[in-house]
């Protein structure tokens, strides 16, 4: 059986300051589930290829929030980005079923689907002629950080990782033992194998606590940095600028 190809469907492609903004859908094979995306591409000369980052949003958020914040800042640093809507979010919120999500097996199915979508997005980026597949990163915020570290651990194309407002699982997680078996951030972060990690976190974060962030940082291998900000769960624009500059240096 031949491998399934990644299909794309471009809905909008327009110039913006510093490059292009492309709204598109990707899917694995003709029958695969649609994954809506926003792709930001910097201006390139000739056959040049840009470094790129996959952006994973937080709970109740969507791709536009990531594209319009960190994606726009990365564009100013010459870095392309692809922000996707994760299952049950953004354009995919229509299939939300709160009753189904009280079932731990359904939660695991959705979580595994989100990991598959993130891997698909990374493979799509790596296949683009205008992206340098040797200079790719992953940026996750909050829930996207939990997901991102699991995906980066198993995807060698990810050369650098930025986790914003992320950390280890809470101390009292529903179905905690099951979740830890299926999706353990501490186990995953140890598999980064020397790829640089930047964590940015608010000192007053009550959603993902500083203790959770510190546990994940302590478990991670070098090289790593943890930068604290005088903020809660929502980090200031200075933290985004700082992370983008760090990522530009790591993807040189």
| DSSP 8-state symbol, 191 | G
pLDDT at residue number 101: 55
Domain assignment present for residue 197? The answer is yes
Domain assignment present for residue 1? The answer is no
Could you count the other beta carbons within 10 Å of the beta carbon of residue 96? 11
pLDDT at residue number 2: 44
pTM for the full predicted model: 0.94
State how many domains the chain has. Answer: 1
CB-based contacts of 16, cutoff 8 Å, min separation 6:
40, 75
Tokens representing residue 139 in the block: 């940026």
Q: What is the pLDDT of residues 226-246, one digit of tens each?
A: 999 999 999 999 999 999 999
pLDDT at residue number 94: 73
Extract the residue ranges of the chain whose pLDDT is less than 50: 1-2
Question: How distant, in Å, are the alpha carbons of 3, 31, 56, 120, 243 from that of 28?
Answer: 10, 7, 19, 7, 31
Q: How far apart are the first and last CA of the chain?
A: 39
Cα–Cα dist 139/93, whole Å: 22
Q: What is the pLDDT of residues 97-131, one digit of tens each?
A: 555 556 656 667 777 899 999 999 999 999 999 99
- The CATH number of whichever domain residue 226 belongs to comes to 3.40.50.1820
Domain assignment present for residue 122? The answer is yes
Nearest-5° angle of CA 98, CA 101, CA 105? Answer: 165
What is the extent of the structural domain holding 91?
6-250
């Amino acid at each position: 059986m031949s491998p399934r190809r990644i299909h794309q469907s471009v809905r909008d492609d327009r110039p913006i300051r510093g490059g292009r903004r492309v709204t598109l859908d990707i899917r694995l094979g003709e029958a695969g589930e649609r994954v809506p995306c926003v792709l930001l591409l910097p201006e390139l000369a000739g056959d040049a290829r840009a470094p790129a980052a996959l952006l994973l949003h937080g709970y109740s958020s969507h791709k536009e929030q990531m594209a319009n914040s960190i994606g726009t800042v990365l564009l100013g640093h010459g870095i392309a980005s692809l922000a996707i809507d994760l299952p049950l979010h953004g354009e995919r919120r229509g299939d939300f079923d709160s009753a189904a999500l009280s079932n731990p097996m359904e939660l695991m199915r959705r979580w595994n689907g989100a990991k598959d979508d993130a891997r698909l997005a990374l493979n799509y980026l790596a296949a683009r002629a205008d992206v340098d597949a040797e200079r790719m990163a992953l940026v996750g915020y909050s829930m996207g950080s939990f997901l991102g570290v699991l995906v980066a651990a198993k995807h060698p194309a990810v050369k650098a990782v930025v986790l914003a407002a992320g950390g280890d699982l809470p101390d009292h997680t529903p179905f905690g033992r099951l979740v830890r078996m299926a999706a353990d951030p501490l186990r995953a972060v140890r598999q980064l194998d020397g790829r640089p990690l930047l964590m940015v976190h608010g000192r007053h974060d009550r959603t993902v606590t500083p203790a959770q962030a510190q546990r994940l940082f302590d478990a991670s291998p070098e090289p790593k940095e943890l930068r604290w900000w005088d903020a809660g769960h929502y980090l200031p624009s200075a933290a985004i600028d700082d992370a983008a500059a760090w990522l530009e240096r790591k993807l040189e």
